[in-house]
Structure 1
């Protein structure tokens, strides 16, 4: 591997979506006393209606919304010296309307890139997804760094359009790069991840077919490492990297590992008895597709429709270009996540 050129941390780091799962984890890492702590100002964009009691005290909170471009200028008020921006804001499962996908993941990203360019941001890291690239054709396939777009339903299209907005801003002179995490897990998780633990504990997590579908996953500390390395490693603008755990896991392995982690933390875990044919995933995907065409999003059908798919990535480019070196694998990461739930008084 050629020698990497690193960049000093900026005077100010801006995190959009700071109250979300990833945003909270990133803000906590940057303002804490661990490996990724840094001086200067850590400023977080938080929507007006969102709570902030879970955020670190040292985070400088600015109220605004990526869908309202006029609110973004306040992110840059009173700043001097270099500014980097990490764009984590996004919608995965819309609560109200399918329109949220485009409004937040596409237009919101374009608004953020425009604001960053106007205010002379030094470096932008945009957090994308695997969904602009769909699913793997076979279990031994891995998405490479130059994968063509093949978006999976509404979320995938909106994240693809978000990436294209980033690349357009790069053409206009913005120094922006992208990271692409698949399914991630770890502390600060939302309720849907808690439901995942509960289903495994009760032996009711749906395994389709033989459970050998291959999935890349990303522990949140690994993702924070990848984001920071993408920010502070000198590379050409417009590049993108897969950020994931060292190796993919099978769905069966994921369920068994989570069960083992729950047992290690003192829970009684029932043997998983929820087996479904692969056809169930195909039917769920057809229902999901029809519902989205009608403007409706049903989380349960969307999740089940992906359960018979392979979504695995190759992180070798991130290792070579950024020195990315994931430190956590599934067993340790899931135990940390369960402990975090217990510390928060969350019932599993």
Structure 2
């Protein structure tokens, strides 16, 4: 199987987001671990607001940036005007919205508008970033989400990602639009948003909650591993209409995740409390119940939602991605967290107090 050559035009939605900037940075400075991400053609990027444009141009100065709401069909149409044969990486979406209604408007409406415009333009392929939330949680700690997993969406975000993914896969069958879905779990690494920096700060302060025995299992994806998976899905000629999990090779327990972050922070010269906040599993169950009640009333609370997932196992099997796409994740938890902490230091983001020099 010979991979497709890079398209003359690449279109990226969600270009100012965590994955979006990591992907554009890899285009600007490709390394072997990124897979087939290098390209010389035009890169057209959608920003949701003018405030996002500098973040995009900082990582890829040659990007041609469009600004607008992807859920607006006119915006989607302009973004993909003249995009025949283009490669489209659809990463735009909302995870922690101001209101629950934004899940449907942005994640589902934006995907629908993009697919309509992509069909009209005659693009080569759309690679859509989905989420583990469309599949809920694993029933047992040793279960893993497989490539052909039934949908069991978790609350509003999960339902919106399920609906968006179905639109993308249906487009491959009904419109003959070439589409591929990539399903990442919780990812980590450079270009992280404020919520991930807060996670580091809470671990350093001993305030990030580990529920029960901390043996809940979580798949995670270092952002460069995810970039590789997306680039492979973008260029494989025989995977239209399929979906692939992209994560680190093996999942980690929550206890290991927190302890690894704590150790890396200490090795990088930050002060930590050297302890973990232990709470009963019941706390997570109560948080999930309250979160569900609030979301049913249109109210979203980020911290409550995250706490409600801390007692869950959410883990996937990447073997099909390895076998079919040739995916080879190069970075594991400790090294990825180290790179993320150093990225925070380079950007003067407050993670934790520094240790005094001796």
The CA distance in 2 between the partners of 1:329 and 1:118, in whole Å, is: 41
Q: Which moved more, 1:197-206 or 1:32-41?
A: 32-41
* 5+ long unaligned stretches in structure 2: 352-358
TM-score, normalization: structure 1?
Answer: 0.96
Q: Does structure 2 conserve the Cα–Cα contact (< 8 Å) formed by 1:16 and 1:23?
A: yes
The equivalent of 2:355 in structure 1 is none
TM-score, normalization: structure 2?
Answer: 0.93
The CA distance in 2 between the partners of 1:346 and 1:232, in whole Å, is: 36
| Structure 2 residue 56 is matched with structure 1 residue 59 | no
The equivalent of 1:154 in structure 2 is 156
Indicate the RMSD between aligned Cα atoms, in angstroms.
Answer: 1.2
- How many angstroms does 1:78 deviate by? 5.4
The CA distance in 2 between the partners of 1:314 and 1:333, in whole Å, is: 20
The equivalent of 1:41 in structure 2 is 42
SS in 2 for 1:51: helix
Q: Does structure 2 conserve the Cα–Cα contact (< 8 Å) formed by 1:92 and 1:155?
A: yes
Q: Does structure 2 conserve the Cα–Cα contact (< 8 Å) formed by 1:17 and 1:87?
A: yes
The CA distance in 1 between the partners of 2:207 and 2:80, in whole Å, is: 48
Regions of 4+ moved over 4 Å: none
The equivalent of 2:343 in structure 1 is 340
Q: Deviations over 1:240-259 (max 9, x none)?
A: 00000010000000001001
The equivalent of 1:131 in structure 2 is 133
Q: Deviations over 1:32-70 (max 9, x none)?
A: 343432111111011234322222211111112211110
Of residues 92, 97, 102, the one that matches 2:104 is 102
The equivalent of 1:293 in structure 2 is 296
SS in 1 for 2:182: strand
The equivalent of 2:219 in structure 1 is 216
The CA distance in 1 between the partners of 2:305 and 2:81, in whole Å, is: 40
The equivalent of 2:281 in structure 1 is 278
List aligned pairs for 1:74-113, cutoff 5 A: 74-77=78-81, 82-95=85-98, 97-113=99-115
SS in 1 for 2:196: helix
Q: Does structure 1 conserve the Cα–Cα contact (< 8 Å) formed by 2:217 and 2:254?
A: yes
The CA distance in 2 between the partners of 1:86 and 1:313, in whole Å, is: 22
Q: Does structure 2 conserve the Cα–Cα contact (< 8 Å) formed by 1:31 and 1:42?
A: no
Of residues 24, 37, 47, the one that matches 2:21 is 24
List aligned pairs for 1:181-330, cutoff 5 A: 181-330=184-333
The CA distance in 2 between the partners of 1:312 and 1:34, in whole Å, is: 28
The equivalent of 2:12 in structure 1 is 15
SS in 1 for 2:24: helix
Change in CA separation of 1:157 and 1:347 when aligned onto 2, cut-off 3 Å = same
Q: Deviations over 1:281-335 (max 9, x none)?
A: 0000000010001110111110000000000000000001100010000000000
SS in 1 for 2:26: helix
* 5+ long unaligned stretches in structure 1: none
- How many angstroms does 1:76 deviate by? 3.1
SS in 2 for 1:157: helix
